[in-house]
Amino acid sequence: DSNSLTKLPDSFANLSRLEVITLEANPFESFPCNFMQGWGCLRELKLDTEHVVTLPDGAVHTSTELMPLEVMSLGLKKCLEYRQRLRACRATGSLDLSVMALWFMPASVLHMQMLTALNFTGNCLIALPDTLTALGSLTSLALNDNRLSLVPASIAELTRLKILSLMDNRLQQISPELGSMTQLDVLNVTNNEDLECPPQEIHRQGVKAILSFLRRVCRGTSHGQVELAGLQLETIMIPWPRLAPTLKALVLSRNALKVLPDEIGTLTALTALWVDNNQIATLPGMIARLSTLKSLALDNNAISGLSPGVCELVSLERLTLDNNQLRFLPPKLGDLQNLTLLSAANNRLTMLPASLASVASLRNVSLMGNPLAPLPPALRERLDIEMDIERQ
């Protein structure tokens, strides 16, 4: 930035992996967009985009207009069309800036506080400005067919918005704060193949389900608990980095999850993880990082072998494994020296690890519905443990 560039070198066309570029305070003669279409990874672009130009206004008169550099680069006809659209919106409150090759929302537009509808479809937006919240009268916002990867939290400040359309972008996630937009009737995010939060199974349930999901996730940032039970989730993708420092409880019961993502290991403040009534067969090794976890519910899944990482959960107090397919419990289960309750009813267990006898805190063991051999002698001597088992 702050150079004397009037155009970009042709060699810049090869920067296909470019993510951030700052070009402010350069006297560009036209918008350098000939090869910018190839910058598919671009997520931040800074450039002085509006210039004062003189345009014909009738047969004799001329007028000065504030014109985006992108539009100026397309010639006089496009400049006149842009001006005409601005003038039309002053009467209707609805501004159509679709298919104008715009990479930015013009600053002058963001000062049009009377706008009730803004159509920005078919442009090249890579990010939404925080100053968009100045358009507090907006009820309809169309941002289809751009290059957006994120719907920022600031959009939630548009409290009158009823229609938000974001089709055909590059969205990866929608900020949870959008769940507070109680006036929103339409939220269209179709054809965003990389969108993970909320997941597709939530999108299919409609705008109310999307907003409810976002509200639940947002609650995790303020209250330390995310409750996502009974939502038919097949995958779980939430803003892990944002939740990691404060999330205490994550409830994923009664869904259709087959795996837990490795990102679960980033939730190092977690004290309760309930994943009962899903279809999980194995647990990720990253679960071992949950050093503060006290309660782990894995009932009613398809687990045949307990991950060694569970034996590293040094703070664990309650472990429930009922109605799985377990044939054995790992010998190192005795390393869980804070364990008070172990429930593994209705599995296929034939024996228990003798190391459990060394867990001084253990008070309740439930193993009904397992073909158990006689307990290890050390466990039989633990009269302080309430044993719920079928003796063979």
pLDDT at 312: 96
Give the DSSP H or E segment for 51. Answer: strand 50-56
Q: State the average pLDDT over residues 73-79.
A: 83
Q: Is the pLDDT of residue 387 over 50?
A: yes
pLDDT at residue 54 above 60? Answer: no
The more confident residue out of 43 and 285 is 285
Tokens standing for 378?
Answer: 């050390």
- Compute the average pLDDT of residues 353-363: 95
Is the pLDDT reported for residue 90 higher than 90? no
The H-or-E segment that residue 370 falls in is none
In this prediction the pTM is 0.78
Percent of the chain beyond pLDDT 90? 62
Sign of CA dihedral 124, 127, 128, 130: negative
Please give the distance of CA 239 from its chain centroid, rounded to a whole number.
4
pLDDT digits (tens, 9 = 90+) for 28-42: 555 555 555 566 666
Amino acid symbol at 327: R
Task: Please list, in sequence order, all residues whose beta carbon lies within 8 angstroms of the beta carbon of residue 289, skipping any fewer than 6 positions away.
Answer: 265, 266, 268
The residue with tokens 């996730």 is 217
* CA contacts within 13 A on the Cβ side of 15: 14
φ, ψ for residue 68 (rounded to 5)? -60, 140
CA–CA gap between residue 119 and residue 44 (Å, rounded)? 22
The pair of three-digit structure tokens given for residue 324, joined into one six-digit string: 């799985």
pLDDT at 38: 60
Confidence of residue 354 (pLDDT cuts 50, 70, 90): very high
C-alpha angle 361-292-376 in degrees, rounded to nearest 5: 30
Pair 130, 154: CB distance under 8 Å: yes
Per-residue confidence band for 24, with pLDDT thresholds at 50, 70 and 90: low
Predicted pLDDT of residue 155? 94
Q: Report d(CA 323, CA 297) in Å as an integer.
A: 11
Strand 62-68 to strand 50-56: parallel, antiparallel, or no bridges (unpaired)? Answer: antiparallel
CA separation for the pair 267, 194 (Å, rounded): 23
Q: pLDDT-based confidence at 283, cuts 50/70/90?
A: very high
Does 56 score more than 60 pLDDT? no
Q: Dihedral of the CA atoms 64, 67, 73, 79 (nearest 10)? A: -70
Q: How far apart are CA 308 and CA 252, in angstroms?
A: 22
Q: What does 199-264 look like in DSSP terms, one character per residue?
A: -HHHHTT-HHHHHHHHHHHHHHHHHSEEE-TTS--SS----HHHHTTT--EEE--SS--S---GGG
Give the mean pLDDT of the chain: 87
Local confidence band at 50 (pLDDT 50, 70, 90 cut-offs): low
Comparing 14-23, 93-102, 161-170, 190-199, the range with the smallest average pLDDT is 14-23
Q: Does 300 or 48 have the greater pLDDT score?
A: 300
Task: Tell me which amino acid residue 249 is.
Answer: A
- Segment 174-191 mean pLDDT: 92
CB 126 within 8 A of CB 44: yes
The HSE-up count of residue 44 (CA atoms within 13 Å, CB side) is: 5
**Other CB atoms within 10 Å distance of the CB of residue 302:** 13
Average pLDDT score over residue span 318-337: 96
Residue 109 reports pLDDT greater than 80: yes
Q: For 238-282, how does the pLDDT look when each residue is reduced to its tens digit (9 = 90+)?
A: 999 999 999 999 999 999 999 999 999 999 999 999 999 999 999
Q: Could you give the CA distance from residue 83 to residue 185 in angstroms, rounded to a whole number?
A: 32
Q: What pLDDT band is residue 69 in, cutting at 50, 70 and 90?
A: confident
Q: Residue 160, SS3? A: coil
What is the enclosing helix (H) or strand (E) of 296?
Answer: strand 295-297
Give the best-scoring range by mean pLDDT among 119-128, 165-174, 272-281. 272-281
What's the pLDDT at 317? 98
How many alpha carbons lie under 13 Å from residue 159 in its C-beta half-sphere? 1
Q: Give the range among 4-8, 117-121, 300-304 with minimum mean pLDDT.
A: 4-8
Q: What is the pLDDT of residue 222?
A: 86
